[in-house]
Amino acid sequence: MTELQAILDLEADVVTEDGRTLRMGPTSLEVIAAWESMLAADSYRFTFAACGDASGARQAVAAVAALGEFNFDSTTSVLRMNTPEGRKKLACLRIKQNHPDIPDKIIADAVQYQWEKVASILANEEATLEAHDPNASAPAKAGETKSSGEQSLPESAKPTTSSPATPESNG
């Protein structure tokens, strides 16, 4: 079993804001099919919005689907899974398989709530680690070398916000 498969098979609890516990199931064939359908539907919406032609959008998406670009292990799919929104959507699909009676909005809200809780915990842990890091130092003053070995720029060498020089202004 690959590491990715082990992660996808994990079952976990997601707690809603009101304290209700939802169980996230493994990545079943049904979840994979729903994920692939979502990728195709998103591609259709994007393509239709770009070209305005429903028939052309369907043909374009069908051609891409025939190449396997919406398959669960495709580059498109993996790139989508590596975004926060993709991870949340996959979590929603995995919860939905265990709780088909719960509306999608409630599941999405629960996943967002859990996401924010985890992000807050991680931010607090990072701040605590930085506060107790004996190697952490104050930012270097202009011209001094930082602990990473890079040198901060003096104010005179920093880029300005004025417009870039044009041939007319130089001349």
Q: What is the CA radius of gyration of the chain?
A: 24
Are 11 and 86 in contact by the 8 Å Cβ rule? The answer is no
pLDDT computed for residue 54 by the predictor: 92
Q: What is the DSSP letter of 145?
A: B
pLDDT computed for residue 88 by the predictor: 92
pLDDT computed for residue 80 by the predictor: 94
The single residue listed with the structure tokens 């049904």 is 30
Confidence of residue 132 (pLDDT cuts 50, 70, 90): confident
Q: Estimate to the nearest angstrom the gap between the alpha carbon of 117 and the chain centroid.
A: 16
pLDDT computed for residue 89 by the predictor: 94
Residues facing 14 on adjacent strands: 22
Q: Report pTM.
A: 0.65
Long-range contact set of residues 54-61: C-beta below 8 Å, sequence gap at least 24 = none
pLDDT computed for residue 140 by the predictor: 52
Which carries the bigger pLDDT value, residue 150 or residue 84? 84
pLDDT computed for residue 163 by the predictor: 43
pLDDT computed for residue 131 by the predictor: 78
22-81: per-residue pLDDT in tens? 988 888 999 999 999 999 999 999 999 999 999 999 999 999 999 999 999 999 999 999
pLDDT computed for residue 170 by the predictor: 46
Spatial distance between the Cα atoms of 116 and 84, rounded to a whole number of angstroms: 11
Query: Is residue 154 scored above 70 in pLDDT?
Result: no
